[in-house]
């Protein structure tokens, strides 16, 4: 029996090998892992920087009164578009008109006295100092008239610039005081969108650059603008700078306070690109599965650059032309052999190196028997 057992065991192992071969497996191994591969390619790449921005009116103000007075007339309705200088509210001005009439009469009398004294001064009948005093009195009276006219002008609240008015906050007969809100006024023909850009990406933005934007209110519409200015200072907490883009807004679809999904395209460059699903992230490390010349896969640590439209830029680790696994990465182990399938597969069935588990089981059974 001591001579026959090794012969029997060798026969059993050979039989196991034949059985594995008939099943498409490497002798004593598991079946090859079916995956989809794709070569690393170098192609033009335009990085899309994504950020969240907020719409701001190009000019925006809350219209208020300068004085305490009763509202006499309201000249607008909520939502009206007004031109610069258009009257919005007229306040009661009876006291100022009476004061103006009085001041104007005093100014006229001072002017007449000055003319008479100028004539007397030419005849040397009055001192020069008396003439100067009368001229000063005339100027003071004229200044008083100008002051009251300015007070009258304050009784008419006007639009400081052309824009669209918000909700009306006052009614005729209401008492307004300095600071009382009458309405908001926003210039909306062109608007700003401010968005933060991290410090590491500042070099990729410049004034004049085209940006795209989308808002939840208009899901099927894309807005286009240009970078106007990049703030000179960074936020010390977020280490980002505010970028301001200008958007045309003739139909006033963009309103102050709206949240905008911003896409900022950078300059096109050549880059090594792979599908994002091919990149496996473990902690801080990123790696891909590369197919070697012998058909075995190896795990290669790579440095990832930018990502856009489902593609990732590979800065180092693999070279153009290397084949990497893009589907089925979760089933792989270092040294595994693969069977490529799908659109990118080549139909090659390659076995996986493994311990001869089946043969070892038979060996143990025979030795024990």
**347 in the same domain as 253:** no
Q: Which of 176, 199, 221 is the last residue of a domain?
A: 176
Say yes or no to pLDDT of 368 above 50: no
Q: Which two tokens stand for residue 103?
A: 């001041």
Note if the pTM is more than 0.75.
no
Nearest CA to 304 among 334, 274, 343, 344?
274
Q: Give the span between the Cα atoms of 286 and 299, in whole angstroms.
A: 10
CA pseudo-torsion sign 165, 166, 169, 171: positive
Higher per-residue confidence, 333 vs 105: 105
Q: What is the dihedral of CA 190, 191, 197, 199, to 10 degrees?
A: 70
Q: What is the mean pLDDT of residues 336-348?
A: 58
pLDDT at 355: 34
Residue 224 lies in a domain: yes
pLDDT at 267: 66
**80 in the same domain as 35:** no
State the CATH number of the domain containing residue 125: 1.10.287.470
Q: What is the mean pLDDT of residues 199-204?
A: 85
CB 90 within 8 A of CB 204: no
State the CATH number of the domain containing residue 259: 2.40.30.170
Q: Which of 206, 238, 268 is the last residue of a domain?
A: 268
Residue 8 lies in a domain: no
Q: What is the mean pLDDT of residues 292-303?
A: 82
| Main-chain phi, psi angles of 178, to 5 degrees | -55, 125
315 C-beta neighbours (distance < 10 Å), count:
12
Q: Which domain holds residue 204?
A: 50-58+189-268
Say yes or no to pLDDT of 15 above 50: no
Q: What is the mean pLDDT of residues 17-42?
A: 64
Higher per-residue confidence, 314 vs 354: 314
Higher per-residue confidence, 85 vs 13: 85
Name the pLDDT band for 26 (thresholds 50, 70, 90). Answer: very low
Maximal CA-CA distance, the chain: 160
pLDDT at 353: 35
Higher per-residue confidence, 264 vs 171: 171
Q: Which of 229, 244, 268 is the last residue of a domain?
A: 268
Q: What is the mean pLDDT of residues 64-76?
A: 93
Say yes or no to pLDDT of 357 above 50: no
- Per the listing, tokens 């792979």 go with 274
Higher per-residue confidence, 27 vs 271: 271
Say yes or no to pLDDT of 22 above 50: no
pLDDT at 29: 57
Higher per-residue confidence, 46 vs 9: 46
Say yes or no to pLDDT of 179 above 70: yes
- Between 84-93, 137-146, 310-319, the lowest mean confidence (pLDDT) is in 310-319
């Amino acid at each position: 029996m001591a001579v026959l057992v090794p012969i029997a065991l060798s026969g059993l192992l050979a039989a196991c090998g034949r059985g594995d071969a008939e099943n498409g497996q490497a002798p004593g191994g598991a079946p090859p892992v079916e995956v989809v591969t794709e070569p690393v390619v170098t192609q033009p790449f335009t990085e899309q920087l994504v950020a969240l921005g907020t719409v701001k009116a190009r000019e925006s103000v809350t219209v208020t009164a300068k004085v305490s007075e009763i509202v006499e007339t309201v000249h607008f309705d909520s939502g009206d578009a007004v031109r610069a200088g258009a009257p919005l509210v007229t306040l009661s001005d009876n006291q100022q008109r009476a004061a103006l009439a009085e001041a104007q009469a005093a100014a006229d009398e001072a002017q007449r006295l000055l003319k008479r004294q100028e004539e007397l001064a030419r005849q040397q009948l009055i001192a020069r100092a008396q003439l100067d005093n009368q001229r000063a009195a005339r100027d003071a009276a004229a200044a008083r008239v100008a002051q009251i006219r300015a007070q009258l002008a304050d009784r008419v609240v006007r639009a400081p610039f052309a824009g669209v008015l918000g909700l009306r906050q006052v009614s005729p007969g209401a008492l307004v005081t300095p600071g009382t809100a009458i309405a908001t006024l926003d210039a909306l023909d062109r608007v700003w969108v401010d968005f933060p850009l991290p410090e590491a990406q500042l070099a990729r933005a410049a004034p004049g650059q085209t940006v795209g934007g989308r808002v939840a209110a208009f899901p099927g519409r894309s807005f286009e603008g240009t970078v106007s200015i990049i703030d000179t200072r960074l936020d010390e907490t977020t280490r980002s700078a505010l970028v301001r883009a200008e958007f045309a807004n003739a139909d006033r679809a963009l309103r102050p306070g709206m949240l905008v999904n911003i896409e900022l395209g950078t300059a096109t460059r050549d880059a090594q690109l792979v599908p994002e699903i091919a990149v496996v992230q473990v902690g801080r490390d990123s790696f891909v599965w590369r197919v070697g010349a012998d058909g075995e896969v190896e795990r290669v640590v790579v440095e990832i650059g930018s990502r856009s439209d489902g593609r990732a830029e590979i800065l180092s680790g693999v070279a153009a032309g290397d084949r990497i696994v893009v589907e089925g990465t979760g089933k792989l182990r270092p040294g595994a052999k693969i069977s490529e399938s799908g659109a990118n597969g080549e139909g090659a069935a390659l076995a996986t190196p493994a311990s001869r588990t089946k043969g070892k089981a038979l060996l143990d059974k025979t030795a024990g028997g």
